[in-house]
Structure 1
């Protein structure tokens, strides 16, 4: 059987060229800031501070990373950020899956009322001061759990999972009920394995939000042992000049021209700490990318 070859017209070729060009420009705009940060961290610090590094690195060295990783509190803050991201993401995914499934069950008492009660919190909140007082009354201030508990229930994620569960044929659940499966067994054996794409999407949202968050540390935490990596980045950026002087003094006063190129500057501090914080979360997305598009599309088709 001969394959029918579709003849490409001149307008099709023109459209493809324009389309690829536009997306190439958008990709470049998105990627260049990260590339700019990285090449400035491995280039001569004097050239970087003068704004001479734009396209290619010059005077390549890796001393910035060695010095920044020695900054006080960085390992502890990294551990806090990793712990809150892993635990917070797991709790958010489980809560979103369970509540999304519950809100699709006709047997649930007051299902529509509770669903609307959850959704309305997307539009209204009491504000920072009442929220702080609530956290304080619950003894969550200066506690690791202030990073996890308030972020467990996310209405947007619940809506995505609920919509996805509604796309699953009801015959699967009905067949399981006929075979004697209970409510929780259906949830673990039928719903969770089927909802892998949307749960991966929720995991990406939750992980990025947890890793990038620093305002909760700013508002609720004063104990430096509980500072997250992002908040430490925030303080380091604000104190970049004094940190550069501190590192310079620790290296020693007698600096030659070769050593001057690797001596910390406010710019090198900002760039290097930013890269250290941003890179880990950039490696998360490729792991879930194959689920992301399918999950977000199916989870948002129905209203």
Structure 2
């Protein structure tokens, strides 16, 4: 096989191509690096001059304030539990429903499928949904984090589209051998649908981990608070305290250094890092499935 000659034009194009992607990678990575160096900088010195690549001073005050929050570890456990259980329930329910909608002999299949799609565009409204949760005794109940998000129309459509691209002869052969729908789903569909199931799992895990609004609406018991909601509360509280300290320093009650020791901006950035880190740790293990699953249906054969 002949090698491609490295002409000056080709070398120039490669340099531009590599340079473009290096700049693109830098623009994606730098915001997170900036978050890290800002919250690691000394709160008193951080405003002396703009930060670029290295922290000014070294302080873990922002992280210490976060990890010393009352109930932080129980909230972390609740977030982990809702993420793990919610992801498993979502993958199973959406997978089964997506497979069910591929069966042409299913009664009222088109009507039910259209009803599912409508839910993507028309919501039930906050008050009706709240009353529904109350009628099912899901208020102050851990399962209010799991059941309402068990089925996602978008995820069902994603799985249905993927399964429809699988050879129909596999199901027909299994049925001839006496396999039922459950056995076909567990022994044929699931092994062949790992890319799309991993994609749905990633979507569900990110959604569950980042969720805080349902905690705000449906929960009044502190022991069921999630990490995201606790951090949200603390961020608002830190902003209020910082404003009070600033007013106190202007009146001479405390020094400027004391007022600057609590930086809402640094805390906000530390919260972003703490909240994002688990997803960053999980994503590399699911990347190959995620990339393949997210591009399904892009090319039709």
Category of TM-score, reference length = shorter chain: 0.7 to 0.9
Q: Which residue of 1 aligns with 2:101?
A: 103
For 1:276-287, list aligned pairs within 5 A.
276-287=274-285
Q: Which residue of 2 aligns with 1:221?
A: 219
Which of 56, 68, 71 aligns to 1:70? It is 68
Q: Which residue of 2 aligns with 1:133?
A: 131
Extract unaligned runs of 5+ from structure 2. 244-256
* Number of aligned residues: 288
1:263 CA displacement = 5.3
Distance 2:212 2:169 in 1: 45
Q: Which residue of 1 aligns with 2:237?
A: 239
- 1:144 counterpart = 2:145: no
Distance 2:16 2:97 in 1: 44
- After TM superposition, the score normalised by the length of structure 1 is 0.86
Q: Which residue of 2 aligns with 1:194?
A: 192
Q: Is the 8 A contact 1:77 1:227 kept in 2?
A: yes
CA spacing shift, 1:85–1:300, aligned 2, 3 Å = farther
1:273 CA displacement = 2.6
Distance 1:74 1:126 in 2: 33
Q: Is the 8 A contact 2:41 2:58 kept in 1?
A: yes
CA spacing shift, 1:296–1:70, aligned 2, 3 Å = same
What's the C-alpha RMSD, in Å, of the aligned pairs? 2.5
Q: Is the 8 A contact 1:90 1:203 kept in 2?
A: yes
For 1:114-133, list aligned pairs within 5 A.
114-133=112-131
Extract unaligned runs of 5+ from structure 1. 246-258
1:243 CA displacement = 6.3
Q: Is the 8 A contact 1:100 1:158 kept in 2?
A: yes
Q: Deviations over 1:138-180 (max 9, x none)?
A: 2212221111101011011111111111111111111111111
Q: Which residue of 1 aligns with 2:168?
A: 170
SS of residue matched to 1:193: helix
Distance 1:299 1:227 in 2: 39
1:116 CA displacement = 1.2
1:54 CA displacement = 2.8
Q: Which region of structure 1 is more displaced relative to structure 2, 107-116 or 84-93?
A: 107-116
CA spacing shift, 1:31–1:103, aligned 2, 3 Å = same
SS of residue matched to 2:2: coil
